[in-house]
Amino acid sequence: MPKVRTPIGARIRRKRLAAGLSQVTLARMLGISASYLNLIENNKRSIGGTLLLRIGERLGIDLEHLSGDSEARNIAAIGDLMADSLMSGIELDAAAIRDLVARFPEAAAALVRLHRTYADATMEIEMLQHRLKSDPLLSELLHEILNRIAGIKSGAEILADIPDLTENERSRFVGNINAEARDLVPVTQNLVAYFDQTSARQRPVSPLREVDEALITHNNHFPQLEEIAADLRRDLASAQGIDEDKLSAALAEKFGVSCTISTEAPAARSPAAGAASLLFPPTMPRPARIFRMLHAYAARAAAGVLEETTNGFELSTDEARELALRAISSYVAGAMMMPYDEFLSTAEECRYDVELISTLAGVSFEQAAHRLVTLRRKGREGLPFGYLRADRSGRLTKRFPLPGLTIPGFGHGCLLWPIYDAFATNDVVRQVSAFPGGGRFLLIARTVAKHATRFGQKPLTFSIMLACDIVHADRTVYGDGLDLGGMPVEVGPSCVPCPRLGCSHRQEIPV
């Protein structure tokens, strides 16, 4: 187990005091000196291994709460906050941020929550700006209101500026003003009702964002799902990996789901939940076909565990819960295709060469990249990666950030990310980048194309980007030949929340 580098001493101290134990007593129970325990509680010493386990057992603290993951996320989030232009003139360096999280964890959590609320509000403003420009009903209502107001204003100006109007003329203009005012009332009522309806439907920025946050909170790793995947795989695998014939037979015999390769297969990327048949285009690659079958198998064979896991997420809508269920079904499918220990060993031997890993594992580049992000088992972690996927329009469709790696929750990312450069080439694009919070990352990106089912159908193309902290870059083939200590490309999250006001690539005014 790696040593914990995050400030968890305050948490240990609070638990010790709540248990009514002195430092001397707890130190004796742990087999260490009281002075050493004092250093731990004051975050002067990092701990790990058996000592961390003993502390958890003695104080009744779940090991997950002693991992330091939440503290690391708070440190990174406050770093992002301090990089915001709103914080200009306020000096709070990395040591002070760490001390804040260590000594006042609740205050740090409050700052993080406020920052997240601010970020969500900024994103919502961006969405509303887009909506004001593109919503046809809203545009029509506002246009009609402006026309009515213009009519009232015109009539009122004539009455005020032309004193020698005849009585008939004056009556006509007053009548016009009254008519415009009467017509304005229902239009305004329609506008208010429209906003009331959308307000009643108000929800977080998006259900997908909710699911993303739930996965991020769990570090995108679920030990129970890994165990389920290993159990399910035993009946379906051969020496060469998942046996497609066994899998197809198991789906038919256990769940009545048929699997057919057909030219009539729909263009949709995935079937509806609970579908009784799976149709695959002849052009669909085997890894994609296997994954879809495993997704259907996991959703049925492990339904109880998947539902239990989903219920543990803080989700506010049925749509978010459905998305979460699909996401963790995909997690199990990926874990069945790429068993944890075997896949991690291959990744380390290949120095995280994703193309080589995918070839050896018999999976796609995207599947291998996504699996790398889930290798977070305590004591046997892989290299920590962030993950992004973008379509040709630039819209981000999947994300998993890292501490210091600021990724927007929706919409488009920074134009300077290599995820967009990758669309211009079939090769892997790599880049050393610096984010506003001070984090430096190695970013690698490559495009992947989904199959086209027939002539005339345009294949769906995405760009996949992996990111790792620059300190890990030399563990990957992608760091070879790069000047890792040289001048990085200064990037941001996206234009609206980015604090780099002088960026020549800025496309939108910051909020």
Name the nearest CA neighbour of 472 among 422, 421, 432, 419: 432
- Give the whole-angstrom CA distance, residue 324 versus residue 396: 18
Q: Where are the alpha helices (DSSP H) in 374-430?
A: 418-421
Q: What Å distances lie between residue 307 and 196, 246, 284, 328, CA to CA? A: 34, 26, 30, 9
**Strand 258-261 versus strand 277-280 pairing type:** parallel
- Give the whole-angstrom CA distance, residue 35 versus residue 38: 5
Q: What pLDDT was estimated at residue 135?
A: 66
Cβ proximity of 262 and 281 under 8 Å: yes
Q: Where is pLDDT greater, at 45 or 352? A: 352
Q: Where is pLDDT greater, at 283 or 478? A: 478
> Percentage of residues in the chain with pLDDT exceeding 90?
32
Please give, one letter per residue, the 3-state secondary structure of 354-378: HHHHHHHHCCCHHHHHHHHHCCEEC
Q: What pLDDT was estimated at residue 170?
A: 86
Q: What pLDDT was estimated at residue 4?
A: 37
Residue at 152: amino acid letter: I
Q: Where is pLDDT greater, at 329 or 151? A: 329
205 in the Ramachandran plot: left (φ > 0), alpha (ψ -120 to 50) or beta? alpha
Q: What class is the 9-105 domain?
A: mainly alpha
Domain 384-511, CATH number (from 3.30.70, 1.10.10, 3.90.1200, 3.30.450) = 3.30.450
Q: What pLDDT was estimated at residue 201?
A: 45
330-347 mean pLDDT = 96
Predicted confidence (pLDDT) at residue 57 exceeds the cutoff of 90: no
Q: Where is pLDDT greater, at 366 or 15? A: 366
- Give the whole-angstrom CA distance, residue 171 versus residue 442: 75
Q: What pLDDT was estimated at residue 460?
A: 84
Residue at 180: amino acid letter: E
Q: What pLDDT was estimated at residue 495?
A: 82
Q: What pLDDT was estimated at residue 448?
A: 93
11-18 mean pLDDT = 84
Q: Where is pLDDT greater, at 145 or 453? A: 145
Confidence label for 415 from pLDDT (cuts 50, 70 and 90) = very high
| 8 sits in which H/E element | none
> Percentage of residues in the chain with pLDDT exceeding 70?
86
Q: What pLDDT was estimated at residue 62?
A: 66
Predicted confidence (pLDDT) at residue 271 exceeds the cutoff of 60: no
Q: What pLDDT was estimated at residue 173?
A: 86
Q: What pLDDT was estimated at residue 151?
A: 85
b/e map 183-198, b = 16+ CB within 10 Å: bbeebeeebeeeeeee
Q: What is the DSSP annotation of 85-99?
A: GGGTT----HHHHHH
Confidence label for 1 from pLDDT (cuts 50, 70 and 90) = very low
Q: Where is pLDDT greater, at 180 or 204? A: 180
Identical fold for domains 9-105 and 384-511, yes or no, is no
Predicted confidence (pLDDT) at residue 202 exceeds the cutoff of 50: no
Predicted confidence (pLDDT) at residue 227 exceeds the cutoff of 80: yes
Q: What is the pLDDT of residues 442-496, one digit of tens each?
A: 999 999 987 666 666 777 899 999 999 999 999 999 999 988 888 899 998 888 7
SS3 percent helix, strand, coil of the chain, rounded to 5, is 55, 10, 35
Q: What pLDDT was estimated at residue 350?
A: 96
Fold of 206-337: Arc Repressor Mutant, subunit A (1.10.10)
Q: Where is pLDDT greater, at 19 or 230? A: 230
123-138 mean pLDDT = 67
Q: What pLDDT was estimated at residue 3?
A: 39
Predicted confidence (pLDDT) at residue 295 exceeds the cutoff of 80: yes
Q: What is the pLDDT of residues 60-105, one digit of tens each?
A: 776 555 556 667 777 777 877 777 767 777 888 877 887 888 778 8
Predicted confidence (pLDDT) at residue 273 exceeds the cutoff of 60: no
- What average pLDDT does the chain have? 83
- Give the whole-angstrom CA distance, residue 372 versus residue 221: 11
Predicted confidence (pLDDT) at residue 180 exceeds the cutoff of 80: yes
**Strand 386-391 versus strand 461-469 pairing type:** antiparallel
Confidence label for 197 from pLDDT (cuts 50, 70 and 90) = low
328-339 mean pLDDT = 96
Residue boundaries of the structural domains of the chain: 9-105, 135-200, 206-337, 384-511
Q: Where is pLDDT greater, at 70 or 402? A: 402
Predicted confidence (pLDDT) at residue 203 exceeds the cutoff of 60: no
Q: What pLDDT was estimated at residue 207?
A: 77
Tokens representing 384? 């920590």
Q: What pLDDT was estimated at residue 239?
A: 73
299-304 mean pLDDT = 93
